[in-house]
Structure 1
Amino acid sequence: MTTFPATAREAVAGIADGATVMLGGFGAAGQPVELIEALIDTGAGDLTVVNNNAGNGDRGLAALIALGRVRRIICSFPRQPDSWHFDRRYRAGEIELELVPQGNLAERIRAAGAGIGGFFTPTGYGTPLAEGKETRVIDGRGYVLEYPLAADYALIAAHTADAAGNLVYRKTARNFGPIMAAAARTTVAQVRAVVPVGGIDPEHVVTPSIYVDRVVRVEAP
């Protein structure tokens, strides 16, 4: 059953040192900034973070990295003009990076939520990204075996929740949120509004409440 903590700090309670945490968002779009800031306040560290990027500017994931709370990051796009906190720590050997092509990253997360034990993909075949991995030639084309990627927690941002915990998103802010919600043991969502059950057309629900453990309303992200 989905619960509705009063604050973001309460919503992220229980995330311990060493946890694997998925963070929704594609750059700034859909990033659960308030949940990440609450996570920073808890003091949790030695985290493995799964995200498309490696932080932007000085807020959200970038702030978590800047404080040295992230031991390892699994992402597809670690370098951009404003990823200076990751860049500095990576060059200093203070953070580990697992680079995963974006489609593989999304499919590994989706596979975890779907209960799929692994899949073969042509992406990365014949490159350093395939080193040490099982490969296979199928119908004359090379493939790499990739495994599902799950997490202890997923922190995501949606637009609206109903009182049962069903979620809808706003445009491209949807990105990684739905698949991360299904791939984590505990999913926490920040939303702009909470409406009564029936306030969201069932045909419009993107993430069903069965995948959502906690919802916190954040009025002005």
Structure 2
Amino acid sequence: MYGWVIAKNIDISFLDESNTKQYFVDGYNIFVNVMNKFEKDTVFRFEKGKICLLDGVILNKKELLEEKRESIWQKLFEKLVLQENFPSVLRGCFNGGIYDGNKKVFTVYTNHVGDRPVYYYFHKDKMLISSNYNYMLKVLKYNSISLTADEMAVKCMLTYGYMLEDITFCKEIHRLLPGTKLNIIGNNAERYEIIRYYQISNKENLSMTEDEAIELVDQSFRKAV
């Protein structure tokens, strides 16, 4: 399995697979096992009081490097995470987490459309977050934490082929919605907030002509390719 896990007051030490790493920062246990397919885009920096984790591919990396006049992606990323609008400036298929030891805030995020999911579990002082649902189940089972099947999630999957909102097959595990980030505030993992940083607008734009609209669609398609 591939992915990353962030835990507090939950044992993940048993996750010992080949080519994996574990870190311990300010009471947070971090397990990392990601593919090397996008190693030029991926960022891992773990040190005292600071975590920078980006897993995935960034499609506008070259544009950001040119715009900020920076040559090293890892250095630029550490500057971008300090911006209030992070991670809205990124484009691509990604997720990750950042921790600021001075502010005692741990932020995990998914991309604009949520195709790189992030799952989370909170109960009293226990916290578990992962990019892999199987890791979530494996860790919670190892720690003897009971889980309850969500019938609504099963009905959604059978009816629509996907799940609505933040539900998963277990009531205790939730999914971070597209274009959102989750802030864990303080050291006890009991305070957290979910912030939407991006939302697709459905407002009609009647200020352009049909030819201008076709040209815009064509430009967007070319840029995407």
- TM-score of the superposed pair, with normalisation by structure 2: 0.29
Q: Which has more helix, going by share of residues?
A: 1
Task: Mark the structure with the bigger radius of gyration.
Answer: 2
Which has a greater percent of strand? 2
Structure of higher RCO (CA pairs closer than 8 Å, 6+ residues apart): 1
